[in-house]
Amino acid sequence: MKQPFSIIANNCWGAEVYKHYNKPFNTPVIGLYFYPECYLKFISDLDKNLNTELKFISQSKHLDAKANYPVGIVNGIEIHFLHYEDEKEAFEKWTKRCKRVRDGQVFFKFDDRDGATLEHINEFLKMELPNSICFTKHSLIKHQNHVHIPMPKKAVSVMDGFSLFNVCINYFDLDEW
């Protein structure tokens, strides 16, 4: 990829794309993840959510115990800063990277991790977002923006974002995307 681009992914997969192409992180969604309903809300009004100040909460509605990482919130949407030491670091990087998102060169990626149901997957696919891709373990989904990633039968979803990137390039032409 030669042009600047922004990837809005639901987990760490996008960071691996930037590393693969040796490009700067032109997105705030690096080192973090969203639960499916939060990701879908986030991308449904991306401009508004990128331009709303990030705040932090002490307890996620998705977790039984307090997270050992910062949990941010934008317009009621939880953002789990899994790979950040503290709120200060998360806030600074989020704020700086929100300004880098490029209009018209935005790519969207979703997968079936973190409790994503078939309803979540279908909702994402129905959005008909430009430059979107969805990776799942489900082989029966027939959609041009869906890629089946073969997984063991007992797997609940595809693997984590880092591992998924390394596997998905066997089933998906990243350069063509």
pLDDT in tens, 9-46: 999 999 999 999 999 999 999 999 999 999 999 999 99
Q: Which residues pair with 78 in a beta bridge?
A: 73
pLDDT band with cut points at 50, 70 and 90 for residue 160: confident
Contact 35, 115 (CB under 8 A): yes
Three-state secondary structure call for residue 25: coil
Decide if pLDDT at 62 tops 70.
Answer: yes
DSSP letter string over 101-154? Answer: PPTT-EEEEEES-TT--HHHHHHHHHT--TTEEEEES-SS---TTEEE----TT
Q: What is the pLDDT of residues 130-140, one digit of tens each?
A: 899 999 998 88
Q: Say what the pTM is.
A: 0.92
Contact 10, 36 (CB under 8 A): yes
